[in-house]
Structure 1
């Protein structure tokens, strides 16, 4: 079997056994739950000399608020996502609800690492974005320009209004999102599918150095991002594109932009652990008394009518039913001409029935990315799909736009030795699953076809091509190169925030080796060793 050389630093070899900082005598936090009220928001940390902090290795993005009010920077320090603060308030007496994220009028300038101006005082609005990451001192930000802008040539120079600045606060390496999204673009891009492009920038706001952020595309419908049919404003017909997220936060959305899943009557699925004897598991709670939390669908794209909402809800639920009948009952079902009802047929095979309504290659691609990264949130959120019923649309459920990998690749205690099947297997909730008083669950989209031989053959073929093209070797090299080249910049970022050592808000989320890391380099070494181990395991299973 073909092997790629392991890209690994000299100190990394022992990390999986001993964790980071083997000689560090400081103790680490216990796994006990952290009370969010212990975390203090509302102030940027002690001022850092901006001129000394800015290097000539990375581009610099300048944010200047139009308001000169003394408290103007509250807009990036105080807001917390509304559903997050509501959840905290539900278990915290006398909790003072902070403001929800709001836009502040700003101008944005950008210069490259050579000091050349790439953007000069462009009009924009900026706000905090994210879910639980909005609790942290260094918050992720969303930029919304008045006019479309290209940023650092990302995504082939795409001009867009919306861009993101990811804070990478709980990933001490700061490299998980960048590495995972790079591999995702290499895999999905071959099939004409979207994954966000990223690069590091130094951020300065009102003259204050804010450290390193990962500049990124957003998850949105666009000719340069998720390429599906966009409706004209107030258009109510169903022949449009629908961009959706499998989302545990769906209940907080407005009625028009959310729907529940039926999942073939919440039929049990057979988890895939590499054998035919996987555990039976339902993705949704079976009763209202069950501890497991429901997950549904959020419609992320623009829709304007109940008819559109009901159409895509019906299509998604019936498509899942077609997949389930094919995989578990060996039956072929098809839609009628209006995509409203399904019926059994003997004219095609069950596999063909699935292929009629699902872009199976896109699901294979997303499965490989999910299996490679072992993301702790895989059962809950940031799992995207779309269906395009426009004139040129495929009219198939298509999986793309992977997102949010800061809890992946060993940062949480998932596949910590890099081995075992995970993405289509039983996974614990974020609190550690039933073993720690939580619950166990499964991602239904990733497991439903997992036991089909033809599907496994597609996985092996896709993995083999990606591996032989050097995708995973280059991903490892990206981690090694960035950690080395940007070491001074990482040190300056952590001098600003000191959140590797002062990690109380998220330490209970980290795996034991991750929480022992006290420098970016130690964290990057651990990440690199974990990823090498993961690639080796998957290659043994899948390489033809």
Structure 2
């Protein structure tokens, strides 16, 4: 009997220890590497005439195929057409590179243009998926980042500073549980220089990305990732309450994980019921219950980051939410191309809040405890990660680090500063918002950071009005 007690006690302790280690692994903050802090060792190329850079170089050979711009429609959703290409990686971070050297890695890959409006830019962004000979995903490291098969090559273009996404992802990564890691590179396609790009981890399940458990087809319940975006793009639209009543406008929640090849009907129903339960509580003004399902810390951090950077799309487009079975709903940031008064269709100056009426946040801001948390965290972050001097110095250091890569990029794409033939795809509207030099663009970014921080310092406490009893009572009556 005594032996059995010892055996079962040991077994229980082992299981508890394993669960504790799993929790700690998921809870620990990610180490954030900032590319512009890397020291670079100069390496002389074998051929002085070949292209060389102090940044990683990615060379793509499409085998004489044009990358298709069109999208295909399948099952009422659209997706970009991919082509098989070969990719060569020259991407060690601590040394310079040239195309005349032996690449660190060579791999086949599926590539396609990506983005909604950005795929119409002259300089286009790409999504890539490394594959093996069987056309299965092949996990590879890029520029020192953890191995994965899928990546994004973001080509900053409407953002003339070339810095907005790099700055925003890295600052968010210092604050939130996870934000996509990024590295700069220079891109060559079919021997033609394409400019300065940002290698970005895309949003997907995995221990080094969105760290939720892997889905099991045999189970009814599943961890999941969903995205707020334009509903016509959705591959697996959730018919949730806020979409049904059109509170989300043209946006809808799309199930991004598990993917269509893994998601079962029972799991899709579970996700819809789980989200409906959260919304039922939230939209019923049940402020005592919703914290059981929503991670307020994550939502508060997301709100502060996107408001400070004035990201006009946050909360309704390119907005990713994820939930593990044993955890609460969290958010991960994505796409700051339109931030810092860079929205293509209209100006957003330093005044005002952009997320007052977006799904879920419009209700969270009615909760005094959530507003308290936002304001407390805001004041804490203004002392370090969102301090004006820290951010403007960060911009200057990044510009200095990129140096000749900026000059090469603008030698190819710098015609946008000349404003000879402005159009509705490649320029801000109205056209007088477009600046006529790189230095002016950087100055505009830093000036906006200063003004935005100053405005929020004076007005962040006004968020309390949205959680006042009279405001909520009026909303209920309406």
Q: TM-score, length-normalised on structure 2?
A: 0.75
Alpha carbons of structure 1 residues 525 and 52: separation in structure 2 relative to 1, 3 Å? farther
Paired position in structure 1 for 2:250: 294
Paired position in structure 2 for 1:132: 117
1:495 equivalenced with 2:417 (yes/no): no
Q: How far apart, CA to CA, are the structure 2 residues paired with 1:519 and 1:464?
A: 35
CA contact (8 A) 1:60 1:111 kept: yes
Paired position in structure 1 for 2:381: 466
Paired position in structure 2 for 1:180: 168
Paired position in structure 2 for 1:163: 151
Q: CA deviation at 1:126?
A: 2.2
Paired position in structure 1 for 2:324: 388
Paired position in structure 2 for 1:239: 221
Match for residue 188 of structure 2 among 201, 204, 212 = 204
Paired position in structure 2 for 1:261: 240
Alpha carbons of structure 1 residues 371 and 218: separation in structure 2 relative to 1, 3 Å? same
CA contact (8 A) 1:80 1:134 kept: no
1:528 equivalenced with 2:443 (yes/no): no
CA contact (8 A) 1:411 1:511 kept: no
Per-residue displacement from partner, 1:354-380 (whole Å, max 9, x unpaired)? 111111111101111121122232354
Paired position in structure 2 for 1:405: 336
Q: Which has the higher contact order (CA 8 A, sep 6+)?
A: 1
Q: How far apart, CA to CA, are the structure 1 residues paired with 2:294 and 2:315?
A: 20
Q: CA deviation at 1:524?
A: 1.3
Q: How far apart, CA to CA, are the structure 2 residues paired with 1:464 and 1:476?
A: 18
1:375 equivalenced with 2:307 (yes/no): no
Q: How far apart, CA to CA, are the structure 2 residues paired with 1:372 and 1:295?
A: 23
Paired position in structure 1 for 2:398: 482
Give the alignment of 1:8-19 within 5 angstroms.
none
Alpha carbons of structure 1 residues 82 and 164: separation in structure 2 relative to 1, 3 Å? same
Q: How far apart, CA to CA, are the structure 1 residues paired with 2:193 and 2:48?
A: 8
CA contact (8 A) 1:264 1:321 kept: no
CA contact (8 A) 2:227 2:320 kept: yes
Paired position in structure 2 for 1:10: none
1:103 equivalenced with 2:83 (yes/no): yes
CA contact (8 A) 2:174 2:385 kept: no
Alpha carbons of structure 1 residues 136 and 512: separation in structure 2 relative to 1, 3 Å? closer
Q: TM-score, length-normalised on structure 1?
A: 0.66
Per-residue displacement from partner, 1:158-185 (whole Å, max 9, x unpaired)? 1111111101121111111111112211
Q: Which runs of 5+ in 2 are unaligned?
A: 1-46, 132-137, 462-478
Partner SS, residue 110 of structure 2: strand
Q: CA deviation at 1:513?
A: 6.0
Give the alignment of 1:332-481 within 5 angstroms.
350-351=287-288, 353-378=289-314, 380-389=316-325, 393-394=326-327, 396-400=328-332, 402-412=333-343, 416-424=348-356, 442-472=357-387, 473-481=389-397
Q: CA deviation at 1:487?
A: 4.3
Paired position in structure 2 for 1:346: none
Per-residue displacement from partner, 1:97-144 (whole Å, max 9, x unpaired)? 9x9421223132223442387722233332222222222232111121
Q: CA deviation at 1:79?
A: 1.5
Q: How far apart, CA to CA, are the structure 1 residues paired with 2:307 and 2:409?
A: 31
1:80 equivalenced with 2:70 (yes/no): yes
Q: CA deviation at 1:265?
A: 7.0
Q: How far apart, CA to CA, are the structure 2 residues paired with 1:482 and 1:404?
A: 19
1:504 equivalenced with 2:423 (yes/no): yes
Two-structure CA RMSD over aligned residues (Å): 2.9
Q: How far apart, CA to CA, are the structure 2 residues paired with 1:225 and 1:58?
A: 24
Q: Which runs of 5+ in 1 are unaligned?
A: 1-49, 88-96, 267-281, 285-292, 332-349, 425-441
CA contact (8 A) 1:411 1:510 kept: no
Give the alignment of 1:508-519 within 5 angstroms.
509-510=428-429, 514-515=433-434, 517-519=435-437
Paired position in structure 1 for 2:264: 305
Paired position in structure 2 for 1:537: 455
Per-residue displacement from partner, 1:69-122 (whole Å, max 9, x unpaired)? 4xx2x11xx423447xx99xxxxxxxxx9x942122313222344238772223
* Count of residues in correspondence between the two structures: 394
Alpha carbons of structure 1 residues 102 and 539: separation in structure 2 relative to 1, 3 Å? same
CA contact (8 A) 1:243 1:384 kept: yes
Partner SS, residue 493 of structure 1: helix
